[in-house]
Chains A and B, each alone.
Chain A
């Protein structure tokens, strides 16, 4: 094997990996490009020319911004509730002994292993058969979103909590902190990055959900439902503006999280 061959052998996996990453970004580039598209006709989804128009007039497509607003409201509310309930459950699972722990953890895992279409249809069956078909709307979407976010929150917070050294809390107690002080001054700050990660995951799951939402939304239209509807009629380029903004926000948040965790880890 020559020098070039050996270099290739060493770096082949890296090259392949980078190619896969490029592939993962191809649609993102399309979305960013299309956010500047000046479409020739209403139904055309080809790049016909460059314009700032879409960025200056984001809310031009009828009902798009109100659907984004609805998704934001549901996302924030569902995230808050799911993060609270899930964090409590994670503490119970890691820090407490009780009968039926195994059953509880299976019970928490199951919703994650259920396909969305099944989860969505069972909720719809419940709402309809309990005579609340007329209630389908904001609150049924909220209930569904909390449900599917909950398991992800438990798993994320549990992982952080299980990795925590109990000696840190014991040290605090040795230094005469009571349980309350120990929790708020030691445990909670150490678990907080896990809770934050869980909340971010919840929000993005909720904001992006289509299949479950579509079954339980009644007359409401969330942003993914708007996109789906637009896909049948003709896609306004502003959809890609929202897509680009989502990507940029995600990039900043994820990068900030990485930097933050790198700064914190050396001390622990």
Chain B
């Protein structure tokens, strides 16, 4: 938090205090032993596969699963993947970015209301945020397929209001895909935002108002900077899964809304492992670059 120096020491009563001071930590082998089983799992099934993915992405693309692949350092897989699939890659990031923006717009009022306005209904509202998330992701997306359908209430209403033309539709459009993405990842925005806002002492907001700050400048100068860690965490938790998702595009979109996830999945299904792997690595590298730039600019490196 950048404004820490200006806060009274007791300002954050509800903060969970980190009691694990250096002196209560034990040295020695036991720490390694506790880490070993989980660490081995991560090494074997996360690090090793990532290396395999990189090497698969450099295989000679003329091979196949049946005949076996030759490792030829065929880096042209990458240029090929980029030239064939850059529209899908850009579209993924565009959709994910739009959905993340929409999640901020929807999530901020909700998180703020839960943290400051809900009173004794706070826990009920939190349960209400979490519960839909536990219901199957795919079934919820199918429910959106129904809600956005051509003969359903929403489309009829928008047609009547002349927002959509007489034969206008929502399903199978970029709008539908982004709606689905927004809905799918909204809880990932609300929960970290709430966690940040909850720690914020409402007296700071009152102090701002007492010092003749308008509500807008209280929001900009006090609320927003203090909510920044939650906002950054929320945008990452929304943007990253949204840019790799293909379910929303598949169920709510059309062939021209295909995202990079659709292509990777189909390439694997078709057995073109080298191209699929290089596209997958490209997606990962692009995300890492975007995230690092974003976190630097937001000034919250300590989160990573």
A-side residues, CB < 8 A to B, are 11, 13-14, 16-18, 20-21, 23-28, 30-31, 34, 45-46, 84-86, 88-89, 91-98, 104, 106-111, 113-119, 121-126, 128-130, 133, 143-144, 146-147, 150, 154, 159, 161-167, 204, 207-208, 210-211, 214-215, 223-224, 227-228, 231, 235, 239-240, 242-243, 246-247, 249-251, 253-255, 258, 262
Contacts and interface: CB of A to CB of B under 8 A. Distances in A.
Interface residue tally on B, bucketed by range:
35 or more
Nearest to B55: A129
Interface in B149-189: 149, 151-152, 183, 186-187
B138 A96 contact: no
Main secondary structure of the interface of A (DSSP, over half): helix
B19 interface: yes
Interface stretch (B3-11, B81-89, B123-131): B123-131
Contacts, number: 288
Interface string B114-126: 1011100001011
Contacts of A162: 16, 18-20
A14 B117 contact: yes
Contacts of B19: 162-167
Given A27-B143, A150-B38, A13 B137 contact: no
Contacts of A207: 136
B106 A23 contact: yes
A104 B39 contact: yes
Main secondary structure of the interface of B (DSSP, over half): helix
B155 to A, nearest CB: 13
Contact of B38 (A85, A161, A255): A85
A25 B77 CA distance: 44
Given A13-B109, A126-B53, 10 more contacts: A96-B34, A104-B35, A111-B42, A111-B46, A115-B261, A121-B280, A122-B53, A129-B69, A166-B21, A204-B133
B111 to A, nearest CB: 8
A208 B37 CA distance: 25
Contacts of A18: 113
A179 B42 CA distance: 30
Nearest to B43: A107
Given A144-B45, A254-B127, A211 B109 contact: no
